[in-house]
Amino acid sequence: MAHPMIAPSILSADFARLADEAQAVAGADWLHVDVMDAHFVPNLTLGLPVVESLLKATEIPLDCHLMIENPGRWAPPYAEAGAHNVTFHAEATDDPVSVARDIRAAGAKAGLSVKPGTPIEPYLEILKEFDTLLVMSVEPGFGGQSFIADVLDKARAVRRLVDSGELRLLVEIDGGINADTIEAAADAGVDCFVAGSAVYGAADPAEAVRKLRAQAGKASHHLTLAP
């Protein structure tokens, strides 16, 4: 049985010390990299050059979350650079399937993300083209926001399809994940938990990763897929 996966979000890290901040969470499953373009979301973070440098600085697989417009243009280079996952937003493109195929062809896992207000039903048919569904549990753009529990219905719906064998992908959640919220998300069938402030705001980020993973492991749902 695979363990619950924890993906610390570098949005809450010190951007001047990213290599050290990656080292500080050495036991994490993935390092979640928030790419924001100040258009799709009202914040600006980092882009491909920083991801290329991070790839040289850490062995942790990079989970690149593109909160950007025009992912068809910008997503494949992250895959070519060596990112493990390249996730883009359903709301940012009219043709998510071709973006997913381009990401996979460039050698990465493809992820689809949905904002809290975006229903999952219109996308269920195309999820077979993806390796990960990233359910946003805050409005994308900023760390440190409160968890929106309503989105767990989307995780439950997709988990049912995975458990019944109709889909094969990881369910990931991002936003407001901490000691108070992670068990509810795990119970809903989430496989991978992104946590920014709960990890990098802790005195010992590596210990925070271990504690969150142990807490998620207490939930009734058990993973069936390896990462």
Among residues 21, 29, 34, 102, the one that binds ligand 5RP under rule CB under 6 A: 34
Among residues 35, 83, 194, 208, the one that binds ligand 5RP under rule CB under 6 A: 194
Active site residue 102: no
Among residues 138, 151, 185, 223, the one that binds ligand 5RP under rule CB under 6 A: 138
Cβ within 8 Å of residue 71, ≥6 positions away: 88, 89, 92, 93, 99
Q: State the nearest-atom distance from the C-beta of 140 to ligand 5RP, in Å.
A: 4
176 is known to lie in a ligand binding site? yes
Per-residue binding string, ligand 5RP, 73-112, x by CB under 6 A, is: ----------------------------------------
12 is a contact residue toward ligand 5RP (CB under 6 A): yes
Cα–Cα distance, 191 to 225 (Å, whole number): 9
42 is a contact residue toward ligand 5RP (CB under 6 A): no
Active site residue 94: no
- Distances 45 to 49, 67, 142 between C-alpha atoms, Å: 12, 10, 10
Helix ranges restricted to H, the chain? 18-23, 48-57, 71-81, 96-105, 152-163, 182-187, 197-200, 205-217
Cβ within 8 Å of residue 17, ≥6 positions away: none
Binding site for ligand 5RP (CB under 6 A): 9, 11-12, 32, 34, 65, 138, 140-145, 174-177, 194-198
